[in-house]
Every structure is written in structure tokens, then in C-alpha cells.
Amino acid sequence: MDLYEYQGKELFSRFGIPISEGRLATTSAEARAAAEELGGQVVVKAQVLTGGRGKAGGVKLADGPEDAEAKAGEILGLDIRGHVVRKVWIERASEIAKEYYLSITFDRGAKKALFMLTTEGGIEIEEVAESNPDALARLHVDPLEGFQPYQARRLIYAAGIDDPDEQKQILDIVGKLYDCFVETDAMLCEVNPLIVTPEGEVRALDSKFTVDDNALYKHSDIAEMRDLEAYPPEERAAREKGVTYVKLEGEVGILGNGAGLVMSTLDVIALVGGRPANFCDLGGGGDAQGVVDALEIISADPQVRPILFNIFAGITRCDVVARGILQALSQTSIEHPIVVRFDGTNAEEGREILADAAPSNLHVEATMLDAAKRAVELAA
């Protein structure tokens, strides 16, 4: 789950990482009031779940409340790479002498957390990595040993930060960022820029924060930060029902059990000349209610014509899925053609259950390829 800048900063602040004081606003009037409270010059920042806001006109300095109101008016409603701005963060403006970059993420190859630090901050890290790779200092942290302050010193020297006062502050921030990363079960904590003010104070001016979805059950406070309005309504409904659903562009509704199988199903649909309408994963359970929920979500998309069920049953049983399909058809008014391919546990029983009931819109196919072909024909 990605967090907004202001949410990431709130977590930074809990771990003692210095940030600037700010307020959230959803209207220009609120932005004005926030600027009044903060006093002096402020910066008005679009809150969207994407980076590069500065370049897209989503970060603007304002001289005072009136200007903040005007700047918020310009930024609210702006479309930044498909993300419409509905909230702005009003923050006390900082004077910037230097812009550094600091992040921690996973290096999956090394099976360790990886810190990256460079004095060439402010711009996209990919650009630094490409144009000046030597400027990017890296430090792996062994999960068993944990983080040791001497390692941070090595990172800071490697990045070429030689001012003792900066070194001291960054050493402290690196340690706190490690705690923040581990304790929130984050997958990425990025500070770009990490600024040094003309007075020599180091502070996080931006935050990019991703928390592991699978760990959210441990962090109800972070889970509550999820902004449901940032997701399309179908995806919201799916999430509430525990179904993994992503809307796509095509006409063939897809439902499978297991992300890998669903991905291959999308490929096979494309292979036979069709376009998938969605990605929908029933997961390992596949009980009748799960099937009903998923079918309701998929069939609510007006673009969907046929629906393809691709089930490879391991833990799931095909007879249970078959009953789920029949239950869904009896409870709802789904008239879409439904193509079913069953394989694995109780596939035969599943097919028999469907054959006995024989709803007119149901088509059973023996293989994934045949099922995909049939679905694409029905989509035409």
C-alpha cells in the first residue's frame, strides 16, 4: 500500500525524523486557513500516489494565505499522470541549501535491506544511477545482525558528506529511518529531497512510503490511512469483499484462483486474439460465497461480455466452485455467457454438477486454450 506524502511524513515524525510542520487541505479555503495558522511563506503540495509532482506543477511556493488559496486553487483538480488532485498539503516553506537523497528498500537478490544515499538529490534517483552511478552510496543491512551505527557512518562517508554537523544529523536520521522501515513493515521509505537548510539543519522534505499489504493486519493505524476514494468503485467493492480485482480495458471477464493462473489466463486470452476485461483472483479459498462475490463484481463492469472461469483446484475443490457458480446464477440476474474450465481436485465432479444443472449461458471446456477460444468467440 502506497502512502501519501503527508502520511509518510506522519510516520517519519513518529520515529523522530525531522519534517516541516504542515496541514492537510481539501479546498482552497482550507488551504488559506492552513497558511494563516502556519504563518509566513508556505509550500502547497499536491497529494497524489505518484512521484514527479514538482515537474507536473503540483508543488508551488506561496507568500501567504491569499497566495496559498490561489495556488491550491490551481493544484486542486489537476491531473498528474492520471491522478486527480483532491488534497493538498500545506507546509511551512523551507530554505534549501542542499538537496540529498536517502532511501531504504529491499534488495531481493541480496535478501537484505538496502540503503541508498547521494548528495545529488531532488531529481529522480534513476537519473543519478544512470548519469553518475559513483555518486550513489549503498549499504546492505543484514536482517539477523540488524542495523549498526558504524554502518551508517560508512554510508555517509561513501556518499561524500564531509560536514561533521551534517554527518551527525544524517547518522541519526539513517538509524531512525531503519527503525521506521522495520517497525512499519515498509517495503520502501524514500526521502527525496533530504534537505540541508542554510543554517545547517537536515530535514525530510518529501516522503515516498510503501507498506507491505500482507503486514497491514499488524498495523491497523496504517491500514486506516488507505484512501478508498483513490481507487475505482469496483476495486473498492472488491477489496471490501476480500477479492483481488483490477479493471482492464477489454471485454472478457476473467476469474481464476491464484495470481499466477490468472496472469497466464490473461496471456492466453491475448494469444487467441481477445482482450481481458479484468484481473480477478479468487485466492486459495474459492468457497461459494467467494465465487458469488467475484461474479457480482465482474458482471457489474458494463464492458464485460463473456466471463471465463479458469480454476486449477489444489486446495480449492472444483465441486465447491461449481456450486458457487450455480448459487451466484440463482441469486443474481447474471446473463453473461460463462465459460468454465476446471482442472485439479474434483474437476470431474465439478463438471457433472454444472452439466446436471445445465444453465443455458454456461459453457464447459476441457482445456485452458479451448476455454479461452470459446470466450473470445462469445465476446465477438
User: Binding residues for ligand GDP, per CB under 6 A?
Assistant: 43, 45, 51-54, 59, 93-94, 96, 99, 122, 192-193, 205-206
Across 265-277, b (16+ Cβ under 10 Å) vs e yields bbebbeebebebb
Part in contact with Mn ion (CB under 5 A); list of ranges 55-63, 148-156, 192-200, 364-372 = 192-200
Instruction: Mark out the alpha helices in 300-346 (DSSP H runs).
Output: 318-331
Q: Which does 344 bind (CB under 5 to 8 A by kind): ligand GDP, Mn ion, none?
A: none
Part in contact with Mn ion (CB under 5 A); list of ranges 61-69, 184-192, 299-307, 341-349 = 184-192
Q: Which does 60 bind (CB under 5 to 8 A by kind): ligand GDP, Mn ion, none?
A: none
When the beta carbons of 195 and 294 are compared against ligand GDP, the nearer one is 195
Judged by CB under 5 A, the residue of 192, 207, 299, 310 near Mn ion is 192
C-alpha 112: how far from its chain's center? 21
What type of residue sits at position 3?
L
When the beta carbons of 199 and 249 are compared against ligand GDP, the nearer one is 199
Task: Tell which residue, 115, 105, 126, has the closest CA to residue 51.
Answer: 126
Task: Tell which residue, 265, 269, 270, has the closest CA to residue 281.
Answer: 265
Q: How far apart are CA 255 and CA 238, in angstroms?
A: 13
| Catalytic residue status for 217 | no
Residues in 111-150 that interact with Mn ion by CB under 5 A: none
Query: Minimum CB separation from ligand GDP for residue 250, in Å?
Result: 32
- The two beta strands, 253-256 and 42-46, are unpaired
Query: Minimum CB separation from Mn ion for residue 230, in Å?
Result: 19
Query: Minimum CB separation from ligand GDP for residue 226, in Å?
Result: 20
When the beta carbons of 69 and 206 are compared against Mn ion, the nearer one is 206
Q: Which does 52 bind (CB under 5 to 8 A by kind): Mn ion, ligand GDP, none?
A: ligand GDP
When the beta carbons of 51 and 283 are compared against Mn ion, the nearer one is 51
Query: Minimum CB separation from ligand GDP for residue 172, in Å?
Result: 21
What type of residue sits at position 257?
N
Q: Which does 207 bind (CB under 5 to 8 A by kind): ligand GDP, Mn ion, none?
A: none
CB 145 within 8 A of CB 165: no
Residue 304's SS3 state is: coil
Instruction: Mark out the alpha helices in the chain (DSSP H runs).
Output: 5-14, 28-38, 65-75, 125-131, 149-158, 164-183, 220-223, 233-240, 259-271, 288-299, 318-331, 347-357, 368-379
When the beta carbons of 13 and 303 are compared against ligand GDP, the nearer one is 13
Q: Which of 91, 99, 190, 235 is catalytic?
A: 190
When the beta carbons of 95 and 267 are compared against ligand GDP, the nearer one is 95
| Catalytic residue status for 101 | yes
Q: Which of 4, 100, 101, 178 is catalytic?
A: 101
Task: Tell which residue, 237, 284, 242, 241, has the closest CA to residue 262.
Answer: 284
Query: Minimum CB separation from Mn ion for residue 107, in Å?
Result: 22
Using CA atoms of 292, 298, 300, 306 in order, give the dihedral in degrees to the nearest 10.
-110
When the beta carbons of 90 and 261 are compared against ligand GDP, the nearer one is 90
**For 366, how many CA atoms within 13 A lie in the half-sphere containing its CB?**
0
- Give me the residue whose beta carbon is nearest to ligand GDP: 54
Query: Minimum CB separation from Mn ion for residue 204, in Å?
Result: 10
Phi/psi at 125 (nearest 5 deg)?
A: -65, -30
Does the protein bind Mn ion through residue 206 (CB under 5 A)?
yes
Residue owning grid cell 506543477: 57
Q: Is 296 exposed, middle or buried (0-12, 13-18, 19+ CB in 10 A)?
A: middle
Query: Minimum CB separation from ligand GDP for residue 75, in Å?
Result: 12
Question: What does the block give as the cell for 105?
Answer: 528498500
Binding residues for Mn ion, rule: CB under 5 A, are 192, 206
Mind telling me the catalytic residues?
101, 190
